[in-house]
Amino acid sequence: MHSRKLTVLTMPIAFALMSAPLAVAKPLGDTGTAIKIAINEWTGQNLTAHIAGKLLEKLGYKVEYVTAGTLPQFTGIANGTLALSPEVWPSNLGDVYPKAKTEGKLEEIGELGLQSRDGWIYTSDTKTACPELPDWSALKNPSCVQALATPETFPNGRLLDYPADWGSVSGAELKKFDIPFTPVPAGSEGALVAELQAAVAAHKPLLMRFWSPHWVLAETPVEWLKMPPCDEKDLAECIVAPPVIKVVWAGFGQKWPAGYQMMKSLELHADDQQKMIYAVDKQGKNLDQAVDGWLDQHQSDWQDWLKAAQN
């Protein structure tokens, strides 16, 4: 009698335990093929990419990081040789992106959550030379132009611009509003930072294009130019900071379903990223240390994302 009752009670429980995961779990898809994540030219993007990669690995996927320029990456995403770019700034999209999007070869899967800023900054010594700042019309004053001119740009003033392979609309903005400045591309993110720090130390005026979040802004006093008015829908001639987005290859959702859902949930806030950038670029921590620190501090967030992706 006792043994029969035990059998009757335990069998349904056993079947429930066996069947429950099969009933609710979403398929991972292709766990044998690595998800290739684009690595761009700035520290913040590298951190975002490695956070995404480590979370995808926790789901059970293989991950590969592939160095890809900000603009060239979109060709790779469109043809499927790259799978994911988790931090895309829509002010720097080039020509390939809109065409690939129209053709359905890549997909935007939501905002990353960075409270970003993109525009022209200047130092306190620049304000001395151009007292009408922060209004952009101050840049038309001949004395301001002369103070910021270099042998390379004379008679125009000099705007230190993003590296050429990042893509920049500064030239179009200058032309549209007849601002007598010439954009001069920096060689790298490091070159931008170094020139900003050197200008502050030497009390030299400087106008440059930059963005936030970035660690150097936490220790270097700058102001932001009030940019000319423009139609924010026309990013080809307008410097704005639209929401930073996540972009995947069009076949990502079908090939890696749970990973797709997790990436849609992924969020990274500007304050958190700026602290990580500072740790890497200023304190000498390696990328993995900074990412692991973020993962430790945000376990409840990413554990919820993983659960939602699997169920």
Q: How far lies 289's CA from each of 176, 278, 311, in Å? A: 45, 12, 30
Residue 60 and residue 127 share a domain? no
Residue 250 and residue 180 share a domain? no
Domain ranges, residue 278: 29-115+243-310
Q: How far lies 54's CA from each of 31, 187, 292, in Å? A: 14, 30, 9
pLDDT for 146 equals 97
**Confidence band for 232, pLDDT divided at 50, 70 and 90:** low
Residue 179 and residue 109 share a domain? no
End-to-end CA distance of the chain: 40
How many whole angstroms separate alpha carbon 244 and alpha carbon 112? Answer: 6
Q: Is residue 190 a part of any domain in this protein?
A: yes
Q: Is residue 19 a part of any domain in this protein?
A: no
Q: Is residue 155 a part of any domain in this protein?
A: yes
Q: Is residue 24 a part of any domain in this protein?
A: no
* Count: domains in the chain: 2
Residue 257 and residue 108 share a domain? yes
pLDDT at residue 224 is higher than 70: yes
Residue 233 and residue 126 share a domain? yes
Worst-scoring range by mean pLDDT, 54-63, 225-234, 284-293? Answer: 225-234
pLDDT for 237 equals 60
**Gyration radius of the chain's alpha carbons:** 24
Q: Is residue 11 a part of any domain in this protein?
A: no
The pTM of the full predicted model, rounded to 2 decimals, is 0.69
Q: How open is the CA angle 102-104-110, to the nearest 5 degrees? A: 90
Last residue of a domain, one of 237, 272, 292: 237
pLDDT at residue 192 is higher than 60: yes
Worst-scoring range by mean pLDDT, 16-20, 31-35, 72-76? Answer: 16-20
Q: Are 283 and 103 in contact (CB under 8 A)?
A: no
Residue 222 and residue 174 share a domain? yes
Residue 306 and residue 274 share a domain? yes
How many whole angstroms separate alpha carbon 76 and alpha carbon 74? Answer: 5
Cis peptide before 142 (omega within 30 of 0): no
Residue 36 and residue 100 share a domain? yes
pLDDT for 116 equals 82
* Structure-model confidence comparison of residues 15 and 182, the more confident one: 182
Residue 233 and residue 122 share a domain? yes
Average pLDDT, the chain: 88
Q: Is residue 18 a part of any domain in this protein?
A: no
Residue 192 and residue 91 share a domain? no
Stretch (H or E) spanning 83: none
- Cα 90 vs. chain centroid, distance in angstroms? 10
Residue 157 and residue 73 share a domain? no
Q: Is residue 232 a part of any domain in this protein?
A: yes
Residue 181 and residue 78 share a domain? no
Q: Is residue 9 a part of any domain in this protein?
A: no
**Confidence band for 213, pLDDT divided at 50, 70 and 90:** confident
Buried/exposed 211-232: b ≥16 CB within 10 Å, e otherwise? bbbbbbbeebebebbebbebee
Last residue of a domain, one of 190, 219, 237: 237
**Confidence band for 240, pLDDT divided at 50, 70 and 90:** low
pLDDT at residue 173 is higher than 90: no
pLDDT for 26 equals 67
What does the pLDDT average to over 254-268?
97
Q: What is the pLDDT of residues 130-162, one digit of tens each?
A: 999 999 999 999 999 999 999 999 999 999 999
The CATH code of the domain that includes 139 is: 3.40.190.100
How many whole angstroms separate alpha carbon 305 and alpha carbon 269? Answer: 15
The CATH code of the domain that includes 303 is: 3.40.190.10
Last residue of a domain, one of 237, 261, 280: 237
